[in-house]
Structure 1
Amino acid sequence: MYKLLIADDEALEREGLEMMTRRMMPDRFLYFHAENGRKAIQLAEEHRPDFIFMDIKMPGIHGLEAIREIRKRHPQTRIILVTAHDYFAYAKEAVSLGVKEYLLKPAKREELLDVLNRLIAEKEEETHKRVEELEIREKLTQLLPLVENEITLMLMMDSVHDTDASALAEMTAVHWDKGYVMVLYFPYREVSWEAVQQVRKELHESFKAYAKAQLPCMVSPMVSNRIGVMVPAGSQGAGFAQRVESVQWGERFLHFIETRFGWRPVIGIGPVGDGFDGLRCSYQAAVAAAADPRAPGRIRHSEDMRQSGDGDDANCQDEERRLLDALARQQKEEARARFAHLLDLLLGSASAEPEPVRAKNGVCAILVTVSRQLGVPLPKHFLSTLAEAEEEGVLRQMAFDQLELILAAQSTEREHRQSHVVERAKHYVKQRYKSDISMEQTAESVNLSPYYFSKVFKQLTGENFIDYLTRYRIDEAKRLLGDEALSFKEICYEVGYRDPNYFSRIFKKTTGVTPTEYRQQLS
């Protein structure tokens, strides 16, 4: 049953319209009467009618004003304008308010029936479409997890095609022009396979619900011992602030898993990339960062590791790139296996004797590519010596020996780059210790996220950054205390403190004596 509101200042007109409608369409409507515009607005608010017969000429708030107010709050209500010939010009304004139907007084039965049948048909069609839309939305809601699984697995299995992924991504209502990937990695040396199997479903569902409530992201199924999280970067791009923010999300995810399940995964974070090809590259970099056993900390951004020499871009497109990835992570056994596979492809099987020159050129090409990509030069005359090898066994041994040298050189280079980062940080402190500097500012100066910087600094110096900064300031204060012309307050400001009392407490905590006692000792 539909609700019908009749608004007219003449009671006979209202009753006449209701009587005609009842006779033509019995038991079809629930009726409400309004004698003026104000009453019509009130009844529309209270009962939300489906249809309204609205007279134009009424005392107080006239019909068009009432229509304007009602349409603001109830745009789906269908209004039929009722007007006499003298007021037909008002119908133009009614059309601008969304009124599509009108009746001329006195209304005829056929016209009234035609208008109501037409509006009821539109109403029923609209309701039918609405039901269909809700059914489609419900099916889409059920389908979205499958779409999300398909996209994330395509990325993780390195089988994504931009066309296929983009078509699927349109269903997720998330824009993937730019994005990055985080990988939650559960090392088997810390968590056994059996333990993972027992709670993998609960862990995945709980984490997925938590992550999607925090971010507009896609969460992959748990593949082996890792979970991928694909995050759109939006307009923020790939700057330092975005990198710090992604590390902060990693800390939140780590805290959630540790609090809920008692496990501490390693979280690798890849760089921001364009489109799905960029996401694939970001995933590979995140996996490499998470799986690197040499890297400090549990939250590892691939850009941090690249800056400090802890990793490399793991955008492997083929077996050769996978070899480079293994070398970058210094996974010796994996590197040997992949290198051996490449040599087998070049040297052929035992039943097929290879063409010697072609095989040697192939081996040389691999070693040159590896040395260039990793920045480790080959020894002088190595290639010419390799070309003189006559036996396949000798060729293999020479190639593997060079592989070991590259691995050792990479480790040395990594340590050198990390030391360089720390030295740059110390230089930054030396230049700015008199001002109010922080670990975050120092980390930004060496282009590392604060989390990763603190891990590297502690690993190489044996003390955290704040302790180092404090010790440096106190050492400078001890030097200045030898100058009797400087007051304690001047020295306090000179070494970066703004509160002399706080400075005195820090000095005593660090040295065991107050600044006054230290100056007396110097005297």
Structure 2
Amino acid sequence: MYKLMIADDEALEREGLEMMTRRMLPDMFTYVHAENGRKAIQLAEEERPDFIFMDIKMPGIQGLDAIREIRKRQPEARVVLVTAHDFFAYAKEAVSLGVKEYILKPAKREELLEVLHRLMTEKEGERSRRAEELVLREKLSRLLPLVENELTLMLMTDCVLETDLSHLTGLAGLQWSTGYAMVLVFPLGEAGWEVFRQVRQELYNSFKVYAKSRLACMVSPLLGNKIAVMVPVAERGAGFTQRVEAVRRGEEFLDYVQNRFGLTPIIGIGPLSEGVHGLRDSYRAASLSASAVPSDAQLRIRHAEDMRQPEEQELAAELEQGLLEALRRQQAEEARWRIGQILDSLFAIAPGDMIRCRNEVCAMLLSAARRLPVRVPRELLAELAAAEGEETLRHAAGEQVERLLAAMSAEREQRQQHVIERAKRYMEQWYKTDVSMEQTAESVNLSPYYFSKVFKQYTGENFTDYLTRLRIGEAKRLLADGELSFKEICYEVGYNDPNYFSRIFKKTTGVTPTEYRQQGAE
């Protein structure tokens, strides 16, 4: 059974069309009537009719305008124009709206029957095609996990098959030009392995769902104690930017596995690679990074480009640590001097080797940024990665340090702002009591001295003035209301002495409470 909406401002026309249709095609339609364009738009959204008979000329919203609105929400509905006028005057606009049928008033039985038969034939054909598409989609959905497993295993095991890798990525629905591999390696220690062995199936299933909900990627089968994630990247962009994004993804995956299963894998991340075949190299680099023994044994997320060669480590560790400490203390001058020292050392060790110097300073800044409580700024990453000369690299690196300092300062300010907002909410809750600055500072876990300083910085008032403003504001409201006496208002807003309250009120407003009430009465 189909649903037919008849939109016409004349009730007799609507009823006549319904009666004619019922007689010709009994039990074939349910009917919805709309007396104007506005009602037609509303009912089309609520009832979702299969077919719509729309009068062109109606009061208010005209038929073509109503069709335009209905098409936005229900493009699959088939519309027939019903008009007493020459249809060709409206043909161009109607065709642009997808209208292919029209009926001239008064409708003839044969013409109406012919139009309805064509509409129903088209609708049935559409339903058949949709059913076939759903069957094919269901078959493909069952096939896709097998394709994904096949492709990821080929990349992990470096096996060669007759099937082309690009053909498999096409079947998996991934347009792959650039991407990287990430490897999660789970602990082999006796205690960790026992936990892993018990939850491995659930871990794999839930992690795969989680990873795919976060980004378009391929997730390999659990091979021993490894899971590989192949991540396509839409735009190549700056290498430093992509490394930051890859590490951030790794942190998300690490948090998920730790929180859900209590396991702490090591996550290796390979470099960006060109094409599907380049993923093999990225996967190898990710695996090597995960299995290497870094100088920082607590480093659970290891990007291949961060894993420096042994001969470079001594210099890098000392210089990077100095820069990191200066950034942590937000010592801007020292941080600028440190990045200059790093560049001087790099240019002395590798004179003329811009690629090595650029990669080194990128790696140091990335490593330092990962250890700071801020999101890595990205505005200048492209400039940093593309620097061609010494001066350009110095400028870009210095600007990047400034961005890190600014980000840390903003993050610190945001934390302090949050603390002050909590303190203000506490004062708004308790200002009617004998609340003190010490109590408020304790509520946000700050010392009274530091709280006083920060509170004045962010509000422009000291604690006492802000508290007084809260109390006097409430007193003014109660005085204007007129229901409470002066003494009752005094106690209601947190003062114990009416005389003191009166003095504070006059000092703040310029008038006594009695004068304020009288002014309001006048």
Aligned partners of 1:153, 1:438: CA distance in 2, in Å? 47
1:106-255 to structure 2, matched below 5 A, reads 106-159=106-159, 164-189=164-189, 196-237=196-237, 239-255=239-255
Contact kept in structure 2, 1:8 and 1:35, CA below 8 Å: yes
Aligned partners of 2:59, 2:369: CA distance in 1, in Å? 77
Contact kept in structure 2, 1:3 and 1:31, CA below 8 Å: yes
Aligned partners of 1:100, 1:16: CA distance in 2, in Å? 22
1:27-426 to structure 2, matched below 5 A, reads 27-84=27-84, 86=86, 88-159=88-159, 164-189=164-189, 196-237=196-237, 239-293=239-293, 296=296, 297-305=299-307, 308-309=308-309, 414=310, 416-425=311-320
Match of 2:23? 23
Contact kept in structure 2, 1:81 and 1:102, CA below 8 Å: yes
Aligned partners of 1:229, 1:429: CA distance in 2, in Å? 31
Which residue type is aligned with residue 112 of structure 1? L
Which residue type is aligned with residue 301 of structure 1? H
- Cα separation, partners in 2 of 1:23 and 1:299, compared to 1, 3 Å: same
Which residue type is aligned with residue 64 of structure 2? L
Match of 1:448? 363
TM-aligned CA deviation for residue 449 of structure 1: 5.7
Match of 2:405? none
1:73-112 per-residue CA deviation (whole Å, 9 max, x = no partner) reads: 3222211112235554233432222110112233222221
1:223-255 per-residue CA deviation (whole Å, 9 max, x = no partner) reads: 112111111222144612322332233233333
TM-score, structure 2 normalization: 0.59
> Match for 1:437 among 335, 342, 352?
335
Match of 1:6? 6
- Cα separation, partners in 2 of 1:101 and 1:298, compared to 1, 3 Å: same
Match of 2:508? none
Equivalent residue of 2:32, what SS? strand
TM-aligned CA deviation for residue 156 of structure 1: 0.5
- Cα separation, partners in 2 of 1:449 and 1:166, compared to 1, 3 Å: farther
Aligned partners of 1:439, 1:145: CA distance in 2, in Å? 53
1:493-508 to structure 2, matched below 5 A, reads none
Aligned partners of 2:338, 2:140: CA distance in 1, in Å? 44
Contact kept in structure 1, 2:6 and 2:14, CA below 8 Å: yes
Contact kept in structure 1, 2:320 and 2:368, CA below 8 Å: no
Which residue type is aligned with residue 52 of structure 2? I
Q: Report the aligned-residue RMSD.
A: 3.6
- Cα separation, partners in 2 of 1:286 and 1:30, compared to 1, 3 Å: same
Aligned partners of 2:334, 2:360: CA distance in 1, in Å? 15
Equivalent residue of 1:76, what SS? coil
TM-aligned CA deviation for residue 452 of structure 1: 5.3
- Cα separation, partners in 2 of 1:53 and 1:282, compared to 1, 3 Å: same
TM-score, structure 1 normalization: 0.59
Which residue type is aligned with residue 198 of structure 1? Q
Shifted more, 263-272 versus 8-17: the winner is 8-17
Equivalent residue of 1:231, what SS? strand
TM-aligned CA deviation for residue 154 of structure 1: 0.8
TM-aligned CA deviation for residue 281 of structure 1: 0.4
- Cα separation, partners in 2 of 1:89 and 1:178, compared to 1, 3 Å: same
Equivalent residue of 1:31, what SS? strand
Equivalent residue of 2:221, what SS? coil
Aligned partners of 2:325, 2:194: CA distance in 1, in Å? 51
Contact kept in structure 1, 2:319 and 2:338, CA below 8 Å: no
- Cα separation, partners in 2 of 1:123 and 1:273, compared to 1, 3 Å: same
Contact kept in structure 2, 1:2 and 1:50, CA below 8 Å: yes
Match of 2:493? none
1:56-83 per-residue CA deviation (whole Å, 9 max, x = no partner) reads: 2334433333323332332222111122
Contact kept in structure 1, 2:103 and 2:111, CA below 8 Å: yes
TM-aligned CA deviation for residue 25 of structure 1: 0.3
Contact kept in structure 2, 1:151 and 1:165, CA below 8 Å: yes
Structure 2: 5+ residue stretches without partners: 344-358, 372-408, 410-522
Aligned partners of 2:42, 2:256: CA distance in 1, in Å? 52
